[in-house]
Structure 1
Amino acid sequence: MKHLLILTGFLMFAISCKSQKQDNKQMGGAAEASTNKYDADNMPPYFINGMGDTIKTIIKSNAVWEKELDDATYYVMREKGTERAFTSPLNKEKREGLFTCAACGLTLFRSNEKFDSGTGWPSFWAAADENNIMKDTDYEIGYARTELMCARCGGHLGHVFDDGPKPTGLRYCINGLSLNFVKAEN
């Protein structure tokens, strides 16, 4: 009986959380306060990449991004969604080249830093330029993770974990929808 009461309480809590999230979505998210310090209102006007170049940030409203990106890419990059594992063709991409932001074209990763993590998402042990990626703490699933975003446009990329291979020990777990692949020219 005690377990039944606990289970019932948990289910009621879960249903109320889901209902609140749906209400927020129907209201355009207005009722949900942003915890991301890199939302459009908080993006710096520029950043300096690892080569010392000044890169101007791209700040657009979600309405503009929604017109420019397809539905699935918008969901992942602007609503911080996650694509289903093993669905991105970039997960198996082995050619030499660069992986760029699908929204703004900023270079994020190189193919020689890509590895098969077995997770179903494109994974890298390092970024092409650490300054091209912003990091923020994400509590979306109940515990702290490090969220990754494009430094130029603020688009959600994925997360970084400390279970990757040498030399960094990092695993940049990236949504394929957040990336475009640019094949190296011979």
Structure 2
Amino acid sequence: MSEDKTRWREQLDAEQYHVTREGGTERAFSGCFWDHHEAGTYACVCCGAPLFRSTEKYDSGSGWPSYWQPVAPDAVRELTDHTHGMVRTEVRCAGCDAHLGHKFPDGPPPTGQRYCINSAALKFTPQTG
């Protein structure tokens, strides 16, 4: 096993590893953040890079945490994903290349985008003060 795989397997639980390092998806309505409403920042579970803020989170009804934009345009990378007989936009952490989820063009204003992200790919830091 490569050094990177060993490091990620030691750092992440089985679901986090499957989602972030193998491109998996958690079941809808099963993750800890799909119905989470606390103020704060959602970061990459692998490298800790800030990815999304609670102020841009909304209930899409999809069963996964959804955001209408990342904390900054360069916080995530977007790739074309041709798996499962579909063409989608995959979202990855720009810092460590972790698979986060997918982006769809059916979100709310002002961006019209829905970043549909796996809870297993995130960790949360509450807002202080």
Q: TM-score, normalised by structure 2?
A: 0.95
Q: Report Cα offsets for 1:7-54 as digits up to 9, x if no partner.
A: xxxxxxxxxxxxxxxxxxxxx8xxxxxxxxxxxxxxxxxxxxxxxxxx
Give, as a single letter, the amino acid of the residue that structure 2 aligns with 1:89: C
Q: Is structure 2 residue 53 aligned with structure 1 residue 110? A: yes
SS in 1 for 2:55: helix
Once residues 180 and 94 of structure 1 are traced to their aligned partners in structure 2, the CA distance between those partners, rounded to angstroms, is 14
Residues 1-186 of structure 1: pairs in structure 2 closer than 5 A? 61-186=4-129
SS in 1 for 2:102: strand
Instruction: Please state how far the C-alpha of 1:65 moved relative to its aligned partner.
Output: 1.0
Say which structure is richer in helix: 1
Instruction: Please state how far the C-alpha of 1:175 moved relative to its aligned partner.
Output: 0.2
Instruction: Please state how far the C-alpha of 1:63 moved relative to its aligned partner.
Output: 2.5
SS in 2 for 1:67: helix
Give, as a single letter, the amino acid of the residue that structure 1 aligns with 2:23: K
Instruction: Please state how far the C-alpha of 1:113 moved relative to its aligned partner.
Output: 0.3
Give, as a single letter, the amino acid of the residue that structure 2 aligns with 1:74: Y
SS in 1 for 2:42: strand
Once residues 73 and 95 of structure 1 are traced to their aligned partners in structure 2, the CA distance between those partners, rounded to angstroms, is 21
Long gaps (5+) in structure 2: none
Which has more radius of gyration?
Answer: 1
Q: Percent identity?
A: 45
SS in 2 for 1:89: coil
SS in 2 for 1:61: helix
Q: TM-score, normalised by structure 1?
A: 0.67
Once residues 91 and 97 of structure 1 are traced to their aligned partners in structure 2, the CA distance between those partners, rounded to angstroms, is 14
Say which structure is richer in strand: 2
Between the two proteins, the alignment pairs up a number of residues equal to: 128
Instruction: Please state how far the C-alpha of 1:178 moved relative to its aligned partner.
Output: 0.3
Give, as a single letter, the amino acid of the residue that structure 2 aligns with 1:128: V
